[in-house]
Amino acid sequence: MELCNSTLESGFILVGILTDSGSPGLLYTTISVLYTLALTSNGLLLLVITVDARLHVPMYLLLGQLSLMDLMLTSVVIPKTLVDYLRGENAISFEGCALQMFLVLTLGGAEGLLLAFMAYDRYVAICHPLNYTVLMRPRICWLMMATSWTLAFLNSVIHTSYTMHFPFCMTREIRHLLCEIPPLLKLACADTSRYEFMVYVSGSIFLMPSLAAILASYMFVLVAVLHMSSGEGRQKALLTCSSHLTVVGMYYGAAMFMYVQPSSYHSPQQDNILSVFYTVITPALNPLIYSLRNKEVMGAFRRVLGRFSFIQDGGCHIEVL
């Protein structure tokens, strides 16, 4: 009981990948660069989609939400990790741990659902182009985004409150980059087997239908693309779909290893690598995958830059006058 009270008062110690790494300095630099890239690329993409009216269509509104989620997700975890390494302290309060878990589950869950809606958007655009404005009208697009946030929020509230109600009296050290369900349950001094099974079932229910919907959407898209008469249109569609599937593979692969794989197969090293993957690598790569070869996004980016340059030049001209 004293150990349990101590955990509530003093919190936990995050023994993440930087602590266990043989080359923490190199890894710290790599994560810092990736985090800076994630902030810059997602921030710019979100700015361009918000400012340029030509991108106010369902595909780019959903992409803007993805950038927002990635921006928030990586900022919930990585800054604390980097600052803790520099300070030589890895402590996190009980309340801070609960908040971090809640935010990561909410943002991660919302992103998984959003990827399914983005796949549906591409399916409608390619397989039913004449009905696109009806099937993906603004009200439906906003409903998709609201559904992603709401379901992820409810799932996060349930799992965070239930996980944090256990008495933690094994040790204060969480051998993980952040506060998540699997590593925290290893610290509980109560029987968590039923809840671990519930996490497995809920993770499967949350991830599998979305993944099945994504795969079905892109299967229909692939069939439609192969029947296209235009070689240029076929190439553009295949390029778009392949980039989307790359994002899906990165996200769902890490999520399924973390939340669908039985706890007996988890190891601190594997979990730490997975956590780095979906908290900084994926957020850094997502905007690059979606935008670098997208002529509309790059065109909008140039227009926004030109607009800001014009405003700046105009301000200098006024000062001269």
pLDDT greater than 70 at residue 18: yes
* Collapsed DSSP state (helix, strand, coil) of residue 14: strand
Alpha-carbon distances, residue 314 vs 154, 259, 269, 307 (angstroms): 49, 54, 55, 10
Class in CATH terms, 11-296? mainly alpha
Per-residue pLDDT tens over the stretch 157-211 = 999 999 999 888 767 888 888 899 988 988 888 888 899 888 888 888 888 999 9
Q: How far is CA 128 from the centre of its chain?
A: 29
Kindly report the number of other CB atoms within 10 A of residue 30's CB atom: 14
Backbone angles phi, psi at 261, to 5 degrees: -70, 135
Q: Write down the domain spans for the chain.
A: 11-296
Mean pLDDT confidence for 42-65: 90
Backbone angles phi, psi at 167, to 5 degrees: -80, 125
* Window from 5-9, 32-36, 95-99, 134-138 with minimum mean pLDDT: 5-9
- Nearest of 81, 105, 68 to residue 283 by alpha carbon: 68
Per-residue pLDDT tens over the stretch 221-269 = 888 887 777 667 677 777 777 777 887 888 888 888 888 877 667 777 7
Residue 320 banded pLDDT, cuts 50, 70, 90: very low
The first and second tokens of residue 178, run together, are: 């952040």
The first and second tokens of residue 233, run together, are: 């249109």
List, as one string, the DSSP characters of 148-208: HHHHHHHHHHHHHHHHHTS-B-S-SEE-SSS--HHHHHTTBSS--HHHHHHHHHHHHHHHH
Torsion (CA) 65, 36, 304, 245 in degrees, nearest 10: -40
Per-residue pLDDT tens over the stretch 274-287 = 888 889 998 998 88
Q: pTM of the prediction?
A: 0.87
d(CA 153, CA 278): 19
